[in-house]
Amino acid sequence: MSLERPSKRGLGKTSAALNKASIVSIAKQSRFGDASVIASGEEPWHACEAADVLDDLATSATDGLAAPEAARRLQEFGANALTPAKRKGFLAKLWAQLNSTVIYILLAAAIIEGAFQAWAECGLVLAVIVINTAIGLFQEGRAEKAADAIKAMLSPTAKVLRDGQLVTIPAEELVPGDIVTLKSGDKVPADLRLLSASNLQVQEAMLTGESVPTSKITHPVPAGAPLGDRKNLAFSATTVVSGTAEGVVVGTGDSAEIGQINKMVSTVEEAHNNLTHQLTIFGRWLAVLVGVVALVSFLLALLRAGEGLQRAFETAVSISVAIIPEGLPAIVTIVLAIGTTVMARNNAIIRQLPAVETLGSVNVICSDKTGTLTRNEMTVVAVRTAASLYRVSGVGYAPVGSFTLAFSPTPAPVGRPGSRAPAAAAPGGTPATEGDLQVVIEGAPSGGGAGAAQEAAQEAAAAAGAPLDAAGMAVLRALLEGAVLCNDSALSRAEKEGGGSVVYTPMGAPTEVALLTAGEKAGLEQSVLKASKPRLASVPFESEHKFMATVHNEGGARVMYVKGAPDRLLPLCRAQVADNDVSVTSPLDIGLWQQAQADLSNQGLRVLALC
């Protein structure tokens, strides 16, 4: 299915038919931002005013499409689904594995061995061929399953205006001109030109590689803008992190950006690397050598030894079979299979075995990071308070880990090399209304207030390297409560089919989900906190002010939590709280916090402030 932009000449403001003749050809940008070529002279969707887009698509922002017109367009343009890759049948795959000169020679040798009733040798050669073929077929099947994973990224449903009514329909039924609404947590069901947006942020890492959610706009952007700068478009399969929006469908199925990626993934070219080339040449020379040796052996046995024709033929065949390296294909296949298995353990699926040899010759790989070398996941690894540095173990979104105390405020946080973690400066609940500050660099435990004896016990446990008891860490509990409450994301959990392990699915910005995970490691569940301390108001994060704030009802009092960039929040704070008592404050030591931020940033960590 090919969906391109309708020409203004082909559509009026009435519900004119979207005829193929009225479609103009617009070459889409690749995901790497190559310049667009507009064959018809028309501007691409992101360079047009919203009103012009609606006019071109003969649709209404208030009523959407009429049901009959939507049905007609669905028949015209096809379903909003990715075209399945053309796959070889079993016989074609089998032929691809057997289509080799060396295999031909081995088959000939097996037939001849069988003709002379040398069943052991015949069986060995056939076993080599079968093993070689089976490994190749298995590896190709695994690669095809990996390519199918892209389809799981698509949204199953969409909320759309039809005949002036907001209805939920299967995403496959979306057509160009449909008006779609989005809210936080939704997957974008098709490529949309945004008509309105309220604090909309979309996670586009799977398309652009940017780990930070993109803030969306509605006004036009330059026609030559790269993919990541088309901020008035919401792309299919991306996720809404926060805010709400309304947009008109401009790309479905294969014409959407995710469809272009699907085409690239589905297109498999036959590998012609150095190993394949050398084996082909070797097979040809081996065939020539076997033929020459067979002929010479036959003539010598016939003319010089005086053997009969049958005996001379048997001698020639025996000598020829002896020089055939029956184990070569098996050795090559097994070595390559071992290489692919090692790489598969690191989630690198090799579609064709000979590619391992080429990859082994690579010195440098240039790639975008997020979604390719990393998983766009973040983990809280350190929490900095006025007096202490706390560390948290565990990686990923599963709330599994323990907290320890580092007495020196300067040690490097624990974490995998290259890992990124939110570090936050955060106070407790009550001091937040007074502009007090606490600093977080690692995960932390939860707990209520504790006396001096408990604090001493905590320090003794920390000195022994034991995990901290969250019940004695009042300041960390207050800090993490702020991290969980000043948060618009969610962390869902579900058991895998058949029971057993639990799968945690992030819904929202990776930074916010990392804070939720840290809170759950400390025993703070978002649902419980929201019920006990309901939100009264909020200021959403915007790139201009670089912070988010929420106001909550805590026992009849109003408490505000703020999280954001330290350089924006530090100037707003006046005091800092003590580690063992959130009610005890002292004047803000801004130099301490600035040095802590610098130290953490130099370690490759992302630093956040909570106050």
* Predicted local confidence at residue 268, as pLDDT: 55
Q: What is the pLDDT of residue 22?
A: 31
pLDDT at position 24, please? 29
Half-sphere CA count of 546, side-chain side, radius 13 A: 10
CA distances from 355 to 145, 270, 284, 329 (A): 18, 10, 22, 16
Which residues in the chain show pLDDT less than 50? 1-41, 408-454, 464, 471
Which tokens belong to 54? 């609606």
Q: Is 368 a catalytic residue?
A: yes
Give phi and psi for 409, each to the nearest 5: -75, -5
Which pLDDT value is given to residue 441?
Answer: 35
Helices (H), 323-361: 328-344, 355-359
CA distance between the termini of the chain: 52
Tokens of 417: 């090399």
Q: What pairing do the DSSP bridges indicate for beta strands 382-384 and 165-170?
A: unpaired
Q: Which residues are CB-contacts of 441 (< 8 A; sequence separation ≥ 6)? A: 381, 382, 383, 384, 389, 390, 413, 421, 423, 424, 596, 600, 605, 607
* Active-site residue, from 368, 436, 488, 567: 368
Residues 6+ apart with CB under 8 A from 90: none
In degrees, rounded to 5, the angle at the alpha carbon of residue 419 between the alpha carbons of residues 416 and 423 is 115
Torsion of CA 598, 602, 603, 605, to 10 degrees: 60
Asked if 104 contacts 143 with a C-beta cutoff of 8 angstroms, the reply is no
Task: Please give the domain boundaries of the chain with CATH numbers for all domains.
Answer: 20-82+154-264 (2.70.150.10), 382-610 (3.40.1110)
**pLDDT number for residue 271:** 52
Q: Which tokens is 353 given?
A: 């075995």
Listed in sequence order, the residues at least 6 apart from 287 whose beta carbon sits closer than 8 Å to its beta carbon are 101, 104, 105
Counting Cβ atoms within 10 Å, is residue 240 exposed (0-12), middle (13-18) or buried (19+)? buried
Chain position carrying tokens 């320890």: 404
Residues in the chain: 611
Spell out a b/e string for 465-501, using b for 16 or more CB atoms within 10 Å of the CB, else e. eeebebbbbbbbbbbbbbbbbbbbbbbeeeeeeeeee
Whole-prediction pTM:
0.55
Tokens 């699926």 locate to 349
DSSP letters spanning 447-507 = -----HHHHHHHHHHHHTTPPPPGGG-HHHHHHHHHHHHS---EEEEEEPTTSSSEEEEEE
